[in-house]
Amino acid sequence: MSSGPTGGTRALGRVRGLGGSSVAAIPLLLIPALGAVQGGFQPNTWVWSGALAAWAAALGLVLGEGSDRLRSDWWWTLAAAALLFWTLASALWSVEPAQSLLEARRMVVYASVVLALTVLTRRHSARVLFAGTHAGIVVLVLYALARYLLQTRSFATFEGYLLSEPLGYANAIGILSAMGTLLSIGVVADGASRRLRAAAAATVPPLALALQLSGSRASWLALVIGVAAATALHRSPQSLVRTVGALALPAAVAVLIGHYSELSSLASPRLSGLAVGLATAGCAVVSAAAAALTLSRPDASPPRRAGRLVVVGAIVAPLIGVAAAVSAGAKEPRSLYYHVAWREFLAHPLLGSGAGTFGHYWLRWGDVAA
């Protein structure tokens, strides 16, 4: 058939278009999958998660424009490879070489994800990537919240009655809830359709409730700063302010219900998990209606200053973490963590003691008064 070359060109175009969209599958699959197994804390999860990311990168290189993206955005891959190499090399001088090698196995997952994102991302696929990240976070947090509200209550040794599962760490739930809330606000403000904006708005009250039940004060601080930064850098700050105003009341009601219930602090709370869940579902309906009925359709033009927002987030987020950790030091042994880390640095100031060896020094010096 004479149309062979044309058909081949069209097929290649479809494959390349698929590559741009398939980048969303990485966060959409890995965030819930790893979150459901203690956030990927155990080494056995690094095998399949790293293999999936590497497989996605290989498909992008074979079927799409992955090689072109790899050449143009080489610094991402180089940075990930350098960190992996340094982690692996630290086993040569590590006080616990086996632990450092284990940390290198974890770094393989990070490097594979960076490689997959570099290969699969296209010039105009940022929105698709953010959508996949948003969906993955929402699925994981809503699953955690439903499980917390509907299952039999149990007391965890370190987390008490806080919302911490399936990640096993309440602050992790809080961080994801804050991230999901911020992304939901962005979809409501800039979504292309009324239905999409309403669906995103409906997730804000349950995400806010999950944040409340996690007891993570630093995550609340991160959310406030994130909203402030997004407003300052948004192409239409007034539009984002209107969005936040429309979503604030139902989200605040959900938070107040969670606070009043004392689910996260008492063995016998004032309200049952089912009652809190039903009330939050009502808040979600109100939030969706507010987004659908009161917010006009936004300008479809892409954000002009998203890059600056990413830079601000990269700078502010670590500062928030440090400030929150310092503020909590009076109630928790975090000041002791810094004390042990400082002694570890003084013992190995040049190259460090090897990746993943803080536990070794914690066992030696963790009982020393800060």
Helix, strand or coil for residue 160?
strand
Convert the pLDDT of each residue in 225-277 to its tens digit: 999 988 888 888 888 888 999 999 999 999 999 999 999 998 899 999 999 99
Question: 126 with 73: CB under 8 angstroms?
Answer: no
Distance CA 68, CA 360 (A): 44
For the residues 20-27, what does the mean pLDDT come to?
77
CA–CA distance, 199 with 207 (Å, rounded to integer): 13
Residue 24 near residue 132, CB atoms below 8 Å: yes
Distance of alpha carbon 188 from alpha carbon 179, whole angstroms? 14
Do 177 and 211 touch, CB atoms closer than 8 A?
A: yes
Residue 305's pLDDT is 46
Q: In this predicted model, what pLDDT tens digit does every residue of 190-213 receive, in sequence order?
A: 887 889 999 999 999 999 999 999
- Measure CA 261 to chain center: 27
- Label residue 142 exposed, middle or buried (CB < 10 Å: 0-12, 13-18, 19+): middle
Name the residue ranges covered by the structural domains of the chain: 19-294, 333-370
What single letter denotes the amino acid at residue 354? G
Q: How far is CA 248 from CA 70, 93, 235, 237, 253, in A?
A: 42, 52, 21, 16, 9
Distance CA 229, CA 225 (A): 6
The model's pLDDT over 323-362, given as tens digits with 9 standing for 90+, comes to 555 554 445 566 788 888 899 999 999 999 999 999 888 8
CA distances from 113 to 64, 67, 130 (A): 17, 16, 15
pLDDT (tens digit per residue) in 83-113: 999 999 999 999 999 999 999 999 999 999 9
Mean pLDDT of 360-368: 78
C-alpha atoms less than 13 angstroms from C-alpha of 367 in its C-beta half-sphere: 2
User: CA 341 to CA 13: how far, in whole Å?
Assistant: 52
> What pTM does this model have?
0.81
- Rounded to 5°, angle at Cα 293 from 289 and 295: 110
Mean pLDDT, residues 113-125: 81
pLDDT reading at 21 higher than 90: no
- Least confident range from 16-25, 312-321, 360-369: namely 312-321
Q: How far apart are CA 19 and CA 119, in angstroms?
A: 9
Query: What is the mean predicted confidence (pLDDT) over 29-37?
Result: 92
- pLDDT bracket for residue 121 (50, 70, 90): confident
